Amino acid sequence: MRYAPDHKQATRERILEAAGRLFRREGFGGSGITAIMKEAGLTHGGFYAHFDDKEELLAAAIAWALSEENSHRSVGLEHLGGLEYVIAVCDRYLSLEHLEAIENGCPAPALMSELSRMGHKPREVFEEACRGWRDEIESHLDPDQHAVALGLVAACMGGLTLARSINDTQLREQVLASTRTLIRQSLADSNDRSAS
Amino acid sequence: MRYAPDHKQATRERILEAAGRLFRREGFGGSGITAIMKEAGLTHGGFYAHFDDKEELLAAAIAWALSEENSHRSVGLEHLGGLEYVIAVCDRYLSLEHLEAIENGCPAPALMSELSRMGHKPREVFEEACRGWRDEIESHLDPDQHAVALGLVAACMGGLTLARSINDTQLREQVLASTRTLIRQSLADSNDRSAS
DNA sequence: TGTACATCAGTGAACGCGCGTTCACTGATGTAC
DNA sequence: TGTACATCAGTGAACGCGCGTTCACTGATGTAC
């Protein structure tokens, strides 16, 4: 081995991070390979030493960004128990801060629509991340509340994506607030039922 | 006037319908003007006799598709009252039939992600349609339930988009079912409260 | 320690292609007389 | 009713451009002796 063993790996990760940022900002179709490599401080030609084609990069970048998102999602919330934890995670997801953090936030809202037209691999990566999120939520809920876990994921993603798709900043906040309320009411209901 | 007065208008609507179908199937970026005009049975050059540019078409096509969606959404459900009506509309939105009806279904799931990167006009059109949907839902709910109307819109769109973004057909159905459950629980809760 | 060499991550010119847009034109339509 | 004409919706060649991808190359790295 002529170069330091992890030199190439480090470059690959730099490309992955750059692609993650660009995909969230401009979408998959809107991010050219030249722009991605430039964002990573490289020229476009070197791209194919790291990935077979653009779709392979997409799959890898989604996996990377989703695992980052997964590890950031609940930081500082670990002390909360059960239902409170779940509500806090959803509230944070549906916050104004997250609304504005397009480049560093969850990649799902920016990519979901395009993902449904994408090949098998990127969708598989996304699917696996969704299962992970569902399982994590379920692990904090009573068994009789497990049925809404995927719905919570859907509502969070839908609320953030919808809020980002409209102009009026007041209506944006109302979308976020209303989705938070919906989630709270839904969980409060199952809570009441299991308590009674 | 040399041609029948509404000849051009009819062609414009044919382009709008073709664009609506293509945008939902391939996205905004994935639908070329040549392909749209071909889908409408025309050649690409004539496009600019009807629209200034592609973004103007997008705004018009979204408006067209959303108003169609609005008039289809609740067909056959008019006899249901209040809460039952709202739940039925959401159930239909989150059905397997709608999941598969990409070209004829609601345009929001296919376009939301791209919309958040779009110019002012298309977002404004979309925003107005969302207000309309919210108002329609609110008109069927008790005033103390109005706070969740936008959340219902978000959850419906999120559930359908998420379901379409994954491969596993079983998990897809679970996403739809779980989102329907979330909505039901949320509305049941406020219903109990206003009843007690 | 010093030199000659092999490796290979990254460079940048070039490719074919489809994009959005322009424009000179064609030919069916409906009017005027 | 018949003919000459003006209109303008729609055609299709052409434009400049950026895309994804290929490939011959360069030059810094670390090895072998």
C-alpha to C-alpha distance for B106 and B61, rounded to whole angstroms:
12
Residue A128 has pLDDT above 50, yes or no: yes
**B182·A127 Cβ contact <8 A:** no
The whole-number pLDDT of residue A3 equals: 67
C-alpha to C-alpha distance for B95 and B183, rounded to whole angstroms:
13
- Whether A195 and chain B come into contact, CB under 8 Å, resolves to no
The whole-number pLDDT of residue B61 equals: 97
Q: What is the pTM of this model?
A: 0.93
Q: What is the mean pLDDT of chain A?
A: 93
| Average pLDDT over every residue of A39-47 | 97
Paired tokens of B81:
């009252």
The whole-number pLDDT of residue A196 equals: 40
The whole-number pLDDT of residue B188 equals: 87
pLDDT in tens, B58-101: 999 999 999 999 999 999 998 988 899 999 999 999 999 999 99
**Residue A34 approaches strand D within 7 Å at CB:** yes
Which residues does A148 contact at the CB level (< 8 Å), separation at least 6? A141, A186, A187, A190, B178, B181, B182, B185
The whole-number pLDDT of residue A81 equals: 84
The whole-number pLDDT of residue B32 equals: 97
Residue A140 has pLDDT above 80, yes or no: yes
Nucleotide at minimal C1' distance from the B37 CA:
D10
| Average pLDDT over every residue of A43-48 | 97
* Interatomic separation, CA of residue A2 and C1' of nucleotide C6, rounded (Å): 9
Residue A94 has pLDDT above 90, yes or no: yes
Q: Which of A53-62, A73-82, A127-136 has the lowest mean pLDDT?
A: A73-82
Which residues does B97 contact at the CB level (< 8 Å), separation at least 6? none
The whole-number pLDDT of residue A19 equals: 97
Residue B6's pLDDT band (cuts 50, 70, 90): confident
Q: Which of residues 4-43 of B touch strand D (CB under 7 A)?
A: 7-8, 11, 37, 42-43
Cβ B14 vs Cβ B52: under 8 Å = no
Residue B194 has pLDDT above 90, yes or no: no
| Average pLDDT over every residue of B44-55 | 96
Q: What is the mean pLDDT of chain B?
A: 93
Question: Residue A74 carries which DSSP code?
Answer: T
| Average pLDDT over every residue of B165-183 | 98
The whole-number pLDDT of residue A101 equals: 96
The SS3 call for residue A143 is helix
Q: Could you write out the DSSP letters of every residue in B81-128?
A: -HHHHHHHHHHHHTSHHHHH-TTTS-SHHHHHHHHTTS-HHHHHHHHH
**B113·A150 Cβ contact <8 A:** no
User: Measured over all CA atoms, what is the biggest interatomic distance in chain A, rounded to whole angstroms?
Assistant: 68
Question: Residue A43 carries which DSSP code?
Answer: -
Residue A116 has pLDDT above 50, yes or no: yes
The whole-number pLDDT of residue B5 equals: 62
- Whether A164 and chain B come into contact, CB under 8 Å, resolves to yes
